[in-house]
Structure 1
Amino acid sequence: MNKIIISTALLLCSTAVFAWGQIGHRVVGKIAENHLSPKAKLEVQRILGNESIAIASTWMDDVKSDEAYDHTHAWHYTTVPTGKTYEESEKSKEGEVVQKIEDMKELLKNESSSMADKKEALRFLIHLVGDIHQPLHVGNGLDRGGNDYKIKWFYSNSNLHRIWDSELIEGKQLSYTEIVESIDFVTPIKVKEWQGLSAAQWANESATIRETIYPENGLEKIGYEYSYQFWELVQEQLLKGGIRLAGVLNDIFQ
């Protein structure tokens, strides 16, 4: 009986943490849906069927537990050491996020790709565009993208990566649709500016942002002040991710 209770508690705990991390990806996916061209919207629907971009956005995390996808674990991130650019940085032989964004784009553009391959590639692409806009998915090569940077988030043990993946967003107690409704306002000039950059430039942008988000003076406990300081940046990164994902899909399916 005790084992059942403990196992259930652990399952609920891990599921809750995982679900909170999904909110950001779904925000990016929903914003992208809002900015698709009519043709791109039809093509995405043809590939995904009844699965929305927002729901498809978390699939790549869902399959982490499937051994068949172990080779994709390194795809979620890239490393750009402080003082270097993406172009100057050593690339993982297992693949990394910028390279894989480009690979999925090419697969989707290839008319000979099967429908099954296109569906998988589209799910990968949706997720990876979200990942690259989380600044700590462009790591400095020293602390596993902030995973080794231990912090107390309010009164709980955490790390900087987890705080940016989920806890800053989860702390607002908003659904992904509520966040989208509150931030999806962007001018055509800004859309053109954001969509005019390449995935490599997105990585450089995230690396620059990454340098600004480590707590000052190595603070080990953060909470309301940190959340207030960076919430606007979190929202902007989510919005950029969605607008850029829409741009990529509009280009693929033009």
Structure 2
Amino acid sequence: MPLMAGAWGQTGHRAIGWVAENHLTSKAKKKLNDLLEGASLAMVGTWMDEVRSDKKYNYMSDWHWVTIPDGKTYAETEKNSHGDIVETIDRIMKELTSGRLSHDEEKERIKILVHLVGDIHQPLHLGTGKDKGGNDTKVKWFGNVSNLHRVWDSEMIDDTRLSYTELAQSLGRPSKVTVAKLQKASVNTWVRESMDLRTQVYALGDGNLSYEYSYHNMDTIRKRLLEAGVRLAGLLNQIYG
């Protein structure tokens, strides 16, 4: 069952793009500027969400997520014939390194990659198969009716009242050693990291979420945004740097 497409919301996705741009090589930055016709990674990072209401792009709807039940690995799951987030990232990387894409095709693939690297770092885009990635887990957020997926996608981030640049800058600047370690990790490692956060994510108490839940999870969100940005830069440097 499809999840909500917009992991991290607009602010989170743009913060990831901002972080990535600040970890690109000069060569990669120039090449991407040419391919994206001056648009920043921060701005193109929300493209997949912006087009989801256009039926022309319905074929992409399952690419934002994957279902991996507790106790299973991705390799052990039944694969979605329409694709999933893990398969799509792998395929897009191969297409971008093939040298066979037209300018417009390459530009679109970059937009997809930027978005999905963000999505895969949001734990609820690695669904258990029980609640549509938290969409069916109803909660209250500061007294307002919500669901767990929405709380993680945008509500905790939006409550910081930060712009995407302020949020990105607040994540800090990792050391070169940390950057190298993050960029060395495989996509399967990113998947395991997100799955390992499930217990924390689903520690909901009575379901009335507010300051305490944010206190226990906001540092994790910041960590995942930073990791996504650094790793996105690593992939783009690998292709264009």
TM range (shorter): over 0.9
In 1, distance between residues paired with 2:105 and 2:172?
31
Which residue of structure 2 lines up, in the alignment, with residue 99 of structure 1?
87
State TM-score, norm by structure 2: 0.94
In 2, distance between residues paired with 1:184 and 1:244?
15
After superposition, give the CA deviation of every residue in 1:77-125 in whole Å (9 maximum; x if it has no partner).
1111111122222221110011111111111112121000000000000
Which residue of structure 1 lines up, in the alignment, with residue 186 of structure 2?
198
In 1, distance between residues paired with 2:228 and 2:46?
14
Which residue of structure 2 lines up, in the alignment, with residue 163 of structure 1?
151
Which residue of structure 1 lines up, in the alignment, with residue 56 of structure 2?
68
125, 131, 154: which one aligns with 2:119:
131
In 2, distance between residues paired with 1:141 and 1:212?
17
Whether 2:222 is the aligned partner of 1:235: answer yes
Q: Is the 8 A contact 1:77 1:96 kept in 2?
A: yes
Structure 1, unaligned stretches of length 5 or more? 1-17
Which residue of structure 1 lines up, in the alignment, with residue 236 of structure 2?
249
After superposition, give the CA deviation of every residue in 1:177-229 in whole Å (9 maximum; x if it has no partner).
00111113101111111111111221121111123211244x22110000111
- Taking only aligned residues, the RMSD between alpha carbons, in angstroms, comes to 1.2
Q: Is the 8 A contact 1:152 1:220 kept in 2?
A: yes
How many residues end up aligned between the 2 structures?
235
- Alignment-mate amino acid for residue 216 of structure 2: Q
SS of residue in 2 equivalent to 1:104? helix
In 2, distance between residues paired with 1:173 and 1:232?
16
- Percent sequence identity is 45
State TM-score, norm by structure 1: 0.90
The runs of 4+ residues in structure 1 deviating greater than 6 Å are none
Q: Which has the larger radius of gyration?
A: 1
Q: Is the 8 A contact 1:60 1:124 kept in 2?
A: yes
- Alignment-mate amino acid for residue 145 of structure 2: N
In 2, distance between residues paired with 1:175 and 1:124?
23
- Alignment-mate amino acid for residue 240 of structure 1: E
115, 133, 137: which one aligns with 1:149:
137
Higher helix share: 1
